[in-house]
Structure 1
């Protein structure tokens, strides 16, 4: 897919070399337009080296603003207050604003990534509102607010938004909830019981649903991975908190994926202080309720996906156990994995899974969690 990257005169332009490489890594063909102000911050030669394409800094007889106006996406990153305000009022006096005006006439999707002082961002809020009202195919990323600045988002978050806007949007408008990460059950003020989980698999699945146009809610237990700001995020700690967070929202969901490493037990007695380590102690664990038992009772129409982790089972036994759980909780699909698979255990970057529905199953061999998540969401799309 062809992306036109428009660079305007913000210091965040220094991040664009990394952004180009990340876009290319995800399969996008990138060409570049730069304003005169941008060329004072980063050289056109550096962008030409990165894109392997001629950089447009002036409109010539090749009418670059027309020949490039029907790209798959126009990405304005960074977008200054000046460029945003000019576009709001249909001013075309730079290479970038001339391209934007032409592209809007073709209804080409445009994504603005604002970067400026927070006071300037607040000052142009009316112009942003006007653009959104006047142009159905123009979008804005929310900047990261810090140090009184509307800062450039991470390159990963920008690419995720680009992928969403250029995807087939198979789940456009659908509400999806993912429960991920581990829960923690207190033993005393210091110690507790938990599971090994980075939350990475759940976040990668959430990203893939978001790419396909879904509205994504992520219920986050304890985890060690970045959660994009574009998701509605709900942080929880204990199993009961996770159950409450899911059951309170499940009635509004079209799809639910339970990939969290939820504690099966809690302590019968919890100390308010810190238990002394001077002597041996005996603790009693009690079973906790199963979250999946409640999902279909509250929303029988939700497409529910469970995960089943086992250790050291052969393929037939692993699949049978997963099928038993799918039937017990009336799930539409279940993903099973062996946590002892080399390089694919809890907390790793990879996974090997079996994707099982009511008719058949498919083995997804050891691969990155990003690629495995694509297979899982593809299956959900085919069944939903």
Structure 2
């Protein structure tokens, strides 16, 4: 259940790799290289301090290399690029240099830059020739030499193949991919469209690379993230619900995945979607269904070791929902509501010493009252942190996103979702 990659990713089974030291979080701001024209907006520090080698092969998907390089830089990567001879016929090295901020390696040179150590090697697009050459140890290009050196160092290597469906269906392709996985590489396939397997988009590729690199770091957890809103049935076609788009929960889940944690999202009704495909998402709109899914997860053999309760859970549900559609036209319709089971109450006996983060929303109260309410929740359930919000902050009517409340520090203002996700990651890692 807690695989580190989405279903479309093949991952190796091997002994744990050496751990990677923790890296400091950097400020979230645009990064400028040679000019403002090359600047990118920093979206996370998931690859800060990481040297990433991007190998570009000669498939038509090489035209997406500019987007891929800029996405790598958005998460802090220091990119080096090697282009195959055929890749240079598909996309200009000048365009790649603009996106990377450095000249790509395009031929053999005395510097032998391909032998330098990197924190990760990403080959996208990867042609079948590239896969076969690497499996069989052919060192006829700078990229193949770089891949061989990375394999010898047991560096993380990720291949993103792109090819015609007939080539994919050739059994030899599967043999090559299985050989790559057996020796420790990851292979990611995109969707089958228009008779070919295309590469996933740049956001998905970089998210999976972030996860692959950071999963080697210490203190990685199995994290359950609840998000979205609940609803309770009134009759066959009507419901009562509360307000939540799911955007905050998705942002937290995405960041934790990029940081190498195994993430299982339990999503209620949402109006926003994640930026990329997460490996495990359970949908549970109904309040009782969501609680049931969480209880099953908490009781499983690979139960979460950390919980983030970001869902907007109904405090009251319909006592006796009608099984049929209630006819319209009546002047009044009385509904009986009963208190719902609190997720924190139900899960506390099953969570033991898990790290747990909850959210507290209030309206029409002062900061002091909000903090007092958050501390009460913190102590009642022995939580590691509470994200305390005024309704006005959630609605975007103020410049502040909320307050981080914990036992070991003064309440800390939160200015944006990225900062919130980093605080939660720090709490989970201890």
TM over 0.5: yes
The farther-off stretch of 17-26 and 110-119 is 110-119
Deviation at 1:152, TM superposition (A): 1.6
Aligned to 1:249: 297
Q: Distance in 1 between matches of 2:374 and 2:168?
A: 51
Aligned to 2:78: 29
The farther-off stretch of 275-284 and 152-161 is 275-284
Aligned to 1:88: 135
Q: Distance in 1 between matches of 2:73 and 2:126?
A: 21
Of 244, 262, 274, 2:313 maps to 262
SS at match of 1:307: strand
Equivalent residues in 2 for 1:1-384, closer than 5 Å = 1-66=50-115, 69-122=116-169, 123=171, 124-135=173-184, 138-147=185-194, 149-167=196-214, 170=217, 173-223=220-270, 224-226=272-274, 228-251=276-299, 252-280=303-331, 281-341=333-393, 344=396, 352-367=401-416, 369-382=417-430
Superposed CA offset, 1:165-210 (max 9, x none):
4448555552111111111222233321122212121122222322
Deviation at 1:8, TM superposition (A): 0.9
The farther-off stretch of 272-281 and 15-24 is 272-281
Q: Distance in 1 between matches of 2:412 and 2:196?
A: 47
Superposed CA offset, 1:210-266 (max 9, x none):
233221111111121226334211111101111011110113111111110111222
Distance 1:253 1:93, change over 3 A: same
Q: Distance in 2 between matches of 1:177 and 1:12?
A: 35
Distance 1:204 1:286, change over 3 A: same
Unpaired stretches in structure 1, ≥5 consecutive residues: none
Superposed CA offset, 1:2-58 (max 9, x none):
222111122221211111122222222222211122222212121122223222221
SS at match of 1:340: helix
8 Å Cα contact 1:85-1:127 kept in structure 2: yes
8 Å Cα contact 1:186-1:270 kept in structure 2: yes
8 Å Cα contact 1:7-1:32 kept in structure 2: yes
Give the alignment's TM-score, normalised by structure 1: 0.89
8 Å Cα contact 1:174-1:254 kept in structure 2: yes
* Matched pairs, number: 374
8 Å Cα contact 1:258-1:305 kept in structure 2: yes
Q: Distance in 2 between matches of 1:371 and 1:78?
A: 33
Deviation at 1:100, TM superposition (A): 1.1
Unpaired stretches in structure 2, ≥5 consecutive residues: 1-49
8 Å Cα contact 1:172-1:213 kept in structure 2: no
Q: Distance in 1 between matches of 2:249 and 2:400?
A: 12
8 Å Cα contact 1:216-1:231 kept in structure 2: yes
Q: Distance in 1 between matches of 2:220 and 2:101?
A: 37
8 Å Cα contact 2:210-2:260 kept in structure 1: no
Deviation at 1:64, TM superposition (A): 3.1
Q: Distance in 2 between matches of 1:198 and 1:94?
A: 49
Give the alignment's TM-score, normalised by structure 2: 0.80
